[in-house]
Amino acid sequence: MELLIIIVFILGYLSITLEHTFKIDKLIPALAMMAIMWAMVALGHLDVFNVDTALRVLVPTHVEEVILHHLGKTSEILIFLIGAMTIVEIIDYFNGFATIKTYVKTRNKVKLLWIFSFLAFMLSAIIDNLTATIVLISILRKLMNSREDRLWYAGIIVIAANAGGAWSPIGDVTTTMLWIANKVSVANLISYLLIPSLLAMAIPSAIASFMPAFKGNIAETLEDDKEVATKSGAFMLYLGLGSIIFVPFFKTVTHLPPYVGMMLSLSVVALFAEVLSNRKFSMSNVDEESDNAAHHSPVHKSLTKIEMPSILFFLGILMAVAALESMGMLFNFAGWLQKATPMIGTELPTAQVSDLVVVLLGGASAVIDNVPLVAASIGMFPNAIDDPLWHFIAFAAGTGGSMLIIGSAAGVVAMGMEKIDFFWYLRKFSWLAFLGYIAGAIAFIIMRTIL
């Protein structure tokens, strides 16, 4: 039965990886894989365990208890993401992101390259790399009529957004997972990864600035009167971004799970959204009058626009990996890996094999989804919080996906918005992303010996 479960996982994983070939949304195989794997565990009456991280042993338990345990951990991530997505949609409701466009005052292509690189790098650290990519490509469309020009900038935005998401606990799903699982702290994550991530963005941008595609000036475009920056939009932008940044501080002070702070931030942003829209603040009433008002409520409208397919995908893939963890498979695989590569997880400076494993993991994240890779890593390695291994995994999983257009959520959304060809990106940007990734990895290894 264990072998069949592994086969189901592999088939589901392949279906997720090949979603563009099969033309089937990856949430479908993820949910099916999760349900089938847990059903096989229950019907086969298989032994399930919790991992005692202190003693590093497997503790037998009941399937109902272990699935509830993993559902709780997964729900922490999902609720956190729902809160962050809703805040971003509320900002968008007030056209807050149009404020960013007011900072772009040049038409020089090289200057625009660096402006969008730094905007993607910083914005993705706050509102995650996927949303930052959507926002910046939307701004690109208002600045450039030429699709050919936009393609080049979109490629740089993908690389910069993935780099920016790696050093922030709220910048990428994988770093959020590591943070919520108490594998990294905010201060150490930033101190270890800010410079490597900056290099992963800056080196490709610096090389790209010498390319012919970024020479000269962009043509003038007509202003879109429908999306003009307003005072209320600017206020909601700064309030929303500030409320998201507030979450790590809330966790540090209260030691509560991050989703609690995110819910507090959402409530504050939602309150101001309702006040600014001159609507009654009501998110729970179900009578006809309140429903009619809620139809025009910025909060309710924002809730209907969040990426539920992504939420369901994360639910499926994380619970599927949890099934493998509960049967002790990840625990046993980690034991085998440590014997095969004895230096993994050991103290510096004898960690070369560990570095190779993590670098390869980053390369694998360009081909297959980085979420299950990081989820499996969390279940495999016993390293304590803020061990350099976790920071390296965060960097590799976050930036490695830039090497292919389908290797990250930011790449996939850019591919969809601008119809970027897979092989065009492979020829033009994969080598740039690779150079940035290797430079950042080398910088991390050097910094690790110093910090």
Structure token digits, residue 178: 């590591």
Q: Percent helix, strand and coil across the chain, each rounded to 5?
A: 70, 5, 25
What percent of the chain clears pLDDT 90, i.e. is strictly above it?
40
Axis-axis angle for helices 409-418, 147-166 (nearest 10):
170
The region, left, alpha or beta by phi > 0 then psi within -120 to 50, assigned to residue 417 is: alpha
Query: Is the full-model pTM beyond 0.75?
Result: yes
Give the model's pLDDT for residue 53: 52
Residue 26 has pLDDT above 80, yes or no: yes
Give the model's pLDDT for residue 341: 57
Say if CB 189 and CB 175 are below 8 A apart.
yes
pLDDT in tens, 391-417: 999 999 999 989 988 788 888 888 878
Structure token digits, residue 440: 């950042």
Split at pLDDT 50, 70, 90, the class of 220 is low
407 DSSP assignment: S
Split at pLDDT 50, 70, 90, the class of 296 is low
Domain range list for the chain: 1-46, 63-450
Give the model's pLDDT for residue 402: 92
Residue 379 has pLDDT above 80, yes or no: no
Name, in order, each residue with C-beta under 8 angstroms of 210's C-beta and a sequence gap of 6 or more.
Answer: none
pLDDT in tens, 300-325: 888 888 888 888 988 998 898 888 88
Query: What's the chain's length in residues?
Result: 451
In the chain the first and final C-alpha atoms are separated, in Å, by 47
